[in-house]
Amino acid sequence: MKYLKFMPLCLFSLFSLLGCKANEGEPLDIIPKPVSAKTFEGFFTLSSATPVLYNFDFEMGSLLIETLTNHLSDYYKIEGSAATYSAKQSKGSVFLKLNPDAKVHNEGYKLKVNKRGVVLEAKELSGLFYGVQSLIQMMPAESGAYESIEIPFAVVEDYPRFSWRGLHLDVCRHFMPKEFIFKYLDFMAMHKLNTFHFHLTEDQGWRIEIKKYPLLTEVGSKRKETIVGHGRSSKEYDGTPHGGFYTQEDIKEIVKYAAERHITVVPEIEMPGHALAALASYPHLGCTGGPYEVATKWGVFHDVMCAGKESTFEFLENVLAEVLELFPSEYIHIGGDECPKTKWKECPLCQQRIKDEGLKDEHELQSYFIQRMERYLNSKGRKLIGWDEILEGGLAPNAAVMSWRGEAGGIEAAKQKHNVVMSPGSHCYLDHYQADPKTEPLAIGGFTPLDKIYSYEPVPDSLSVEESAYIMGAQGNVWTEYMKTSDHVEYMVYPRAAALAEVVWSPKAERSYAEFLDRLRKLARRYEYYGLNYSRVEFMK
Ligand code: TNX
C-alpha cells in the first residue's frame, strides 16, 4: 500500500527522466472532434477564485457566459463570483474574447489553455458559444463537488465543415411538449448542430396555430385514435384521442430559445401531400371537397391539396405569411414528398390547370405548384427547400433540395447548381433500428447502427469540386410514427446524433470510429447528468 502511494510520483519522475510529458499530445475528449487540437504538459487549475471575463455586451452573449458558469456551478459545484466585463485578459482568468478581426473561420473559435489561464477567441458569438461547448468537454467528465478542476494545456483551432448541421423532428405523428423541444435544442447545441427542422404539419396532425384559420388546430390538431403496432401489418386501433399544438407564443419562445443557442429553426409546412389534417379542417382544399378525417394510421394518402383551385394557393400564402412572421429562417421547408397524383388525374380543375398552363402531366403540375410557392417565398425574401420529389417535373429556379430517397436527388440538384442537404434514408434516418430488432422497441424498419451513421460522407464522389460546393451539409431525420414519448425520441436520437454531428463538423480525414467511441463514453457521463435517455446498446458490446 505504502508503495502504491508513491507510484504516481515515481512514474512521474520516470517520465521526466525519459523526457515524456504527462498529458502532452493526449487527445481531448471533444465531440465533434475539433479541426486541430494540441495538448501540452500541464493543467490550468480552475476554482471558485478564477474570474470569468468577457469583452462584449452582456445582453448579447449572456447565454454563452451562463452556459459556462452554470456548468461550473451545477456540474462541479464551483461557484465563482459573477462573470465580469473586461477589455483584456487578466492572469489566471477565463477570458471570452469577441474579436471581429480574429483570424478564425465563420462559426469557428480558437481556444488556448496555458498557465496564464484560458482565452477563447472568436469573431462571432456563435464561435464563442461553440468554444464554450468544447471547453466544457475538456473539463472532468465526472460530476461531483470539486474544490477545483484541471483543464489540460492546449491550443484548439476549430470550425465546422458544413453550414447545415441539421436535426429534424416530426411532432405530428406524435406531439411533443414545448419543454421537450427546449431539451432537444439544448442537446443539439451541445453537439454544435445548428439547424432544427421542425416538421409541423402532416396527415395525422396540424401542430401550429394559424390565426386566420383556427380550424387547423381546432380540428386538425386532433385525431380520434392511433393504429397500434406496425402500420404494415396491424388492423388494431387504440381508441384514444391524440392531439396537441404550439400556439404562436410557444413558437416564438422556441425560436428565441434556439437562436440563443445559435440554432436556426426551419419550419416545414407540408404541401401538396401529407396534408389530411389541413383537408379535414378545410375540406375545400381537397379535389373532392371531402369529407376528410385526420389520419389515424401511417402511410401515404391519396387525398392531397387540389392544384386546380386558386383558393388552395390563397390558403397556403396566408398560412405562410403567418409562418414567415414567426420564423426568421432563410429557408422555409414546403415538404413536397410522397404526393400521389391519383386525385389530380380525376379532378376537372387540376386537368384544366394542366391545359391552361401548357403542362405535360401531373408531375409538371406538382412542379407548377412548388414553383408558385417558391415565387411567393422569394417575393418575401425567403428561399424554398423541399424533399427530393420537387425535382420531378422540373425544379423551381432557386429551390434547395433535401435528398432523402438516397443521394440521387441531391446529386442531380447539385449538378443543376442548386443547394442540397443530404439526408439519405440509408444513413440519416434515426427512426430506423439501431440494433437487432428482436431486442429493440418497435421501429419503422431499416437498420442504421451508430457506426453506419458515423461512416456517412455527405459529399458524393460523383460530384466535381464545383458541384460539391452546393452540398450545404447533412441532417438526421426523426419521424415519430413509432415514438410516442419524448423518452423514446431520445433513445432513438442519441448517441446517433453525436455521430452525425461529427460527420457534419469534423474534417473527413480526422474521423475514426474507434476513437469516437472512446470520446463518446466520456460524453455519455454528461448525457446521464442531464437526464438524456440515450441508447446504451453500443457500450454493451
Ligand atoms: C418517409 S422522409 C416520409 C415520412 C415518413 C418516413 C418514415 C419523407 C420525406 N417522408 O413521411 O415518416 O418516410 O421513415
Domain map of the chain by residue range? Answer: 2-158, 164-401+441-464+492-510
The answer, yes or no, to whether any atom of ligand 1 lies below 6 A from the CB of 482, is no
Which residues fall within 8 angstroms of residue 107, CB to CB, at 6 or more apart? 124, 126, 127, 130, 159, 160, 163, 194, 262
| Phi, psi torsion values for 122, nearest 5 degrees | -155, 160
Closest ligand 1 atom, residue 481 Cα: 12
* DSSP character string of 27-40: PP--SSPPSEEEEE
User: HSE of 383 in the Cβ direction (CA atoms, 13 Å)?
Assistant: 13
Q: Which atom of ligand 1 is nearest to the CA of 423?
A: 2
- Choice from 479, 481, 482, 489 to test ligand 1 binding pocket (greatest atom count within 8 A of CB): 479
Nearest Cα neighbor of 199 from 274, 300, 251, 268 is 268
Q: Could you tell me if 233 and 241 are in contact, meaning their C-beta atoms sit under 8 angstroms apart?
A: no
Ligand 1 center–CA 405 separation, angstroms = 9
Distance 200 CA to ligand 1 centre (A): 13
pTM: predicted TM-score of the whole model, two decimal places: 0.96
Q: Which of 43, 66, 34, 48 is nearest to 134 (CA)?
A: 34
Mean pLDDT of successive 10-residue segments in the chain (541 residues)?
44 49 85 97 97 96 96 96 94 97 96 97 98 98 97 98 98 98 98 98 98 98 98 96 98 98 98 98 97 98 98 98 98 97 98 98 96 97 97 92 98 98 98 97 97 98 98 98 98 98 96 96 96 93 74
Distance CA 130, CA 150 (A): 20
* Ligand 1 center from residue 395 Cα (angstroms): 20
Q: Where are the beta strands (DSSP E) in 86-239?
A: 93-98, 109-114, 117-122, 148-158, 164-170, 195-199, 201-202, 205-206, 222-223
Residue 20's pLDDT is 53
Q: How many other C-beta atoms lie within 10 A of the C-beta of residue 266?
A: 23
Handedness of CA 437, 441, 446, 449 (dihedral sign): negative
Q: Under DSSP, is residue 172 helix (H, G, I), strand (E, B) or coil?
A: coil
What is the three-class DSSP state of 5?
helix
The position carrying cell 458490446 is: 541
Sign of CA pseudo-dihedral 127, 129, 132, 133: negative
List, in sequence order, the alpha helices (H) in 120-275: 125-137, 178-190, 215-218, 248-260
- Is residue 479 in contact with ligand 1, taking CB distance under 6 Å? yes
Nearest atom of ligand 1 to the alpha carbon of 300: 11
What are the CA-CA distances from residue 424 to residues 132, 231, 404 (Å)? 31, 22, 4
Q: What is the CATH number of domain 164-401+441-464+492-510?
A: 3.20.20.80
Q: Are 272 and 292 in contact (CB under 8 A)?
A: no
Please tell me if the CB atom of residue 268 comes closer than 6 angstroms to any atom of ligand 1.
no
Whole-angstrom CA distances from 36 to 3, 26, 79, 507 are 39, 13, 31, 9
Cα-to-centroid distance, 301 and ligand 1 (Å): 13
Per-residue model confidence (pLDDT) at position 46: 97
Query: Residue 5: its pLDDT value, please?
Result: 43
Minimal CA–CA distance to 299: which of 236, 238, 237, 231?
Answer: 231
Whether ligand 1 lies within 6 angstroms of the CB of 404 is answered as yes
Question: How close are the terminal C-alpha atoms of the chain, in Å?
Answer: 34
**Phi, psi for residue 21 in degrees, rounded to 5:** -115, 135
- Ligand 1 near 337 CB (within 6 A): yes
Going by alpha carbons, the residue nearest to atom 2 of ligand 1 is 404
Task: Check pocket membership of 41 for ligand 1, CB cut-off 6 A.
Answer: no
Fold of 2-158: Chitobiase; domain 2 (3.30.379)
Phi-psi region for residue 355, left (φ > 0), alpha (ψ -120 to 50) or beta? Answer: alpha
State the pLDDT at residue 540: 79
516: left (phi over 0), alpha (psi -120 to 50) or beta: alpha
Nearest alpha carbon, ligand 1 atom 4: 479
CA distance 246 to 228: 25
Dist CA 125 CA 102 (whole Å): 12
Sheet of strand 148-158, all strands in order from the earlier edge strand to the far edge: 36-47, 148-158, 109-114, 117-122, 93-98, 52-54, 84-85
Amino acid code (one letter) for 203: D
The preferred substitution site among 266, 304, 338, 427 for testing ligand 1, maximizing ligand atoms within 8 Å of CB, is 338
Please tell me whether the peptide bond between 27 and the residue prior to it is cis, using omega within 30 degrees of 0: no
